[in-house]
Amino acid sequence: MTDPADGAAPDDGGALPGLDLDRLTAYLNRSVPGLVAGPLRGALLTGGRSNLTYAVTDGQARWVLRRPPLGHVLATAHDMGREYRVMSALTPTAVPVPPMVHHCAAPAVLGVPFYLMGQVPGRVHREPEELVGWSPSQVRDLAFRLIDLLAVLHTVDPASIGLADFGRPDGFNARQVRRWKRQLDASRSRDLPGIAELHDRLAAAAPETRSPAVLHGDFRLDNVLLGDNRAVRAVLDWEMSTVGDPLADLALSLLYARRVAAPGQPGTDELAARYARRTGRSVDGLPWYLAFAAFKLAVILEGVHYRYVQGKTVGDGFDRIGAQVPPLIAEGLTTIRKG
């Protein structure tokens, strides 16, 4: 099973990196009596360059388990409780999320905190190339569905779903620049020309938050599950969620959308205009946010590259991640110099 989507049972496959099924079974039998009906089997799901995600089944029910990566877990990153809390809070809203089952904050079971959620049928499109067989109108429709869903998220009142204390909107952007600089410093193994200038320009011009909202933090094509009719069945991977400036969320989503080269994909300006219409928010000043999105994504990928060179990644494709960082730095510099 390679997806929470395909409905196939996980393979036995022997020992799973980062997941001890015997310990998990014993823990769930104690903590959630009646949940597990038989021996657990599991499989590491493909995709995911940060947290590890597994399909787990007892032969009857199917779940998905999320835990932090192996090794080099940065402070404030990979917060399982944060993911579990925000998805639980969003359950009664129009934002589709998987059903939450159980959160384990103690590291005694798997060595790290983790949570369990119900498996949602659907498919994850992990690469833009997977849209090649789609018609231009289908690609365009999906792009608008995603931006509309982001708009729906940003119109949810955080206080109304118990997330008033989920973030600190005041000074959000300046604090984010500092935070991702610290992440970079903690994950750096090579020289990255231009990144210091990009950071300094961002820090010098960080805007104040207007109209705070619940942010996903990494909203993109491969963090949603699509059904057969291409409707979004669930939004996944909430590890960087918070309450803050919604334009930061929008800009990162637009940065990802730029990389979808399929015919029919709308441009950045068209998507931003649609978002503005749907939310009633101004998108003035977007270049700063786009430059910050490039910086943030560069730091995220550099962290993945750092874990790869340490031999701490699980799965394929990590050898190509490092090469994506310099172009992002260049893109961020070009954007902020023009803005």
User: Could you give the CA distance from residue 182 to residue 170 in angstroms, rounded to a whole number?
Assistant: 20
Exposure on the CB side of residue 264, measured as CA atoms within 13 A: 16
pLDDT of 73 higher than 70: no
Q: How confident is the model at residue 47 (pLDDT cuts 50, 70, 90)?
A: very low
Torsion angle (degrees, nearest 10) of CA 315, 56, 120, 264: 10
For residues 44 and 54, is the Cβ–Cβ distance under 8 A? yes
φ, ψ for residue 23 (rounded to 5)?
-65, -40
The owner of tokens 């192996």 is 70
Q: Name the residue with tokens 């997806």.
A: 3
pLDDT band at 189 (very low <50, low <70, confident <90, very high): confident
Contact 39, 33 (CB under 8 A): no
Residues 192-208 as b/e (b if ≥16 CB within 10 A, e otherwise) read beebeebbebbeebbbe
- Per-residue pLDDT, averaged over 42-64, amounts to 85
Average pLDDT value for residue range 244-264: 95
Query: Does the pTM of the predicted model rise above 0.85?
Result: yes
| pLDDT tier at 25, thresholds 50, 70, 90 | very high
Dist. CA 277–CA 273, nearest whole Å:
6
How far apart are alpha carbons 147 and 143 in whole angstroms?
6
Query: Between the CA of residue 79 and those of 74, 86, 136, 308, what are the distances in Å?
Result: 10, 11, 38, 21
Q: Which of 72, 90, 84, 76 is nearest to 114 (CA)?
A: 84
Decide if 296 contacts 183 (C-beta within 8 A): no
Q: What is the pLDDT of residues 79-108, one digit of tens each?
A: 899 999 999 999 999 999 999 999 999 999
Structure tokens at 40: 């657990």
In the structure encoding, which two tokens stand for residue 95, read together?
Answer: 């934002």
What percent of the chain has pLDDT above 90?
76
242-244 and 213-215: which strand pairing? antiparallel
Are 184 and 302 spatial neighbours (Cβ–Cβ below 8 Å)?
Answer: yes
